Amino acid sequence: MSSLTFILFRLAPGDPTINFLSPSFNEETRAALMKSFGLDKPLWEQYFIYMGNLLQGNLGQSFLQGKPVAVLLADALPNTVLLTLVSLTAAYAFGIVAGAFLAFHRGGLVEAVSIPAALATRAAPEFWLGMLLLAGLAFQTGWFPTGGALSPGREMNSFAERFMSGDFWWHLALPALTLMLYLQGLPLLLMRATMLEVLNDEFIVMAKMKGLSRWSVVMRHAARNALLPVVTAFALGLGASIGGNVVVETVFAWPGIGRVLVTAVQSADYPLAQGAFILIAASLVTMNTLADLAYAALDPRVSVGAKR
């Protein structure tokens, strides 16, 4: 993974020094810059230095901002995690409830309206949804800010203070809403499909035969079984969203990993871009693992290792 990102960025066109140099700078200045970045060394040597540093947990220095990549990523990560958590949780809470509801009201007018609606928001490009919301709720009415994570001029001393402030959440609302609208289709359709499947299972018929209350049948037996694949999708979605927020973060100028990645790629800031990619990959792998573990906890038929 890290080798791949290393090669990919080196292959991509673009000169990391372009951003520093005005056309008036001469060739010596450029060479000096290249040397200070270590870009004058042969590619294989660069690679070994990079991998060596990586093994020691050192992601390197950003070319453009001159700060350690780790610091830049650590600044951006909480923003992305919060955006992802809020929107994904909202999307799944909504999707699970709506999906279960739709499974029960199959074939009605509600279904005829809501399934295409869910599909449409799922299929609509995020940036388009985001732009519509921006146009309607920010520019037209002024109810929400148009971008960023804090109002201009506001400085927060600590993370805690920052995330407790109403200003931050006010800024979070629109990007989170966009992302939620985009994400809710999957859990909704998944929940509906598995619920419909589970409702036809013999143990549901048995639960009805037993004269159990509708609540017991639906919550204790149907929903519990139908939730299994949705939980997996949630954990995978969490991993994917950390990297997949690029579009929403760009539209709303949200200072998260996605935006760090975009600016780094645009300015050929290799270390930063590579660091961002590795972080995204790591969170995907972590979430995949967590999904597997969660599945084992929820479904007794799946167990970890030889434990019984």
Partner 1 sequence: MSLLSVRDLVVTYATRAGPVRAVDGVNLDVPAGSITGLVGESGCGKSTLGRALMGVLPDAGRIAGGQIMFEGTDIAALSAPARRAIAWRRLSFIPQTAMNALDPVQRLRAQMLEVLIERGGLGKADALARASELFHLVGLDPIRLSDYPHQFSGGMRQRASIALALALEPALVIADEPVTALDVIVQRQVLDVMRNLQARLGLAMILVTHDIAVVAYACDRVAVMYAGRIVESGPVADVLENPLHPYTMGLTHAFPDLYGDDMTLVPIDGTPPSLLHPPAGCRFAARCPFVQPRCAEEPPVTDGDHHAACWRIDEAAELRALAAIPATWMPK
* Structural tokens at position 96: 């699970």
Closest approach, Cβ 52 to partner 1, in A, equals: 48
Draw the binding track, 173-212, toward partner 1 (x: CB under 8 A; -: no contact).
Answer: ----------------------------xxx-xxxxxxxx
Q: Of residues 108-127, which lie at the interface with partner 1 (CB under 8 A)?
A: none
Q: How far apart are CA 102 and CA 190, in angstroms?
A: 11
105 binds partner 1 (CB under 8 A): no
Collapsed DSSP state (helix, strand, coil) of residue 68: strand
Closest approach, Cβ 106 to partner 1, in A, equals: 9
154 binds partner 1 (CB under 8 A): no
Q: How long is the chain? A: 308
Produce one character per residue of 56-84: b if its CB has 16 or more CB atoms within 10 Å, e if not: eeebbbbbbbeebbbebbeebbbbbbbbb
27 binds partner 1 (CB under 8 A): no
19 binds partner 1 (CB under 8 A): no
* 251 close to 181: Cβ distance less than 8 angstroms: no
Q: Which is nearer to partner 1, 253 or 298 (CB)?
A: 298
Neighbours of 103 (CB within 10 A): 22
* Structural tokens at position 93: 């809470």
Closest approach, Cβ 201 to partner 1, in A, equals: 6
End-to-end CA distance of the chain: 35
| Residue (of 223, 241, 232) closest to 291 by Cα position | 232
**φ, ψ at 111 (rounded to 5°):** -65, -40
Draw the binding track, 226-245, toward partner 1 (x: CB under 8 A; -: no contact).
Answer: --x-----------------
Which of 42, 57, 166, 300 forms a contact with partner 1 (CB under 8 A)? 300
Stretch that binds partner 1, among 28-36, 47-55, 56-64, 297-305 (CB under 8 A): 297-305
Closest approach, Cβ 241 to partner 1, in A, equals: 27
219 binds partner 1 (CB under 8 A): no
Produce one character per residue of 18-40: b if its CB has 16 or more CB atoms within 10 Å, e if not: eeeeeeeeeeeeeeebeeebebe
Q: Which is nearer to partner 1, 266 or 303 (CB)?
A: 303
Residues 6+ positions from 248 with CB-CB distance below 8 Å: 83, 126, 127, 130, 175, 178, 179, 182, 254, 258
Q: Which is nearer to partner 1, 181 or 207 (CB)?
A: 207
* Structural tokens at position 293: 């573990």
Closest approach, Cβ 200 to partner 1, in A, equals: 8
Stretch that binds partner 1, among 8-16, 51-59, 148-156, 224-232 (CB under 8 A): 224-232
307 binds partner 1 (CB under 8 A): no
Q: What are the residues binding partner 1 (CB under 8 A)?
A: 201-203, 205-213, 216, 220-221, 224-225, 228, 298-301
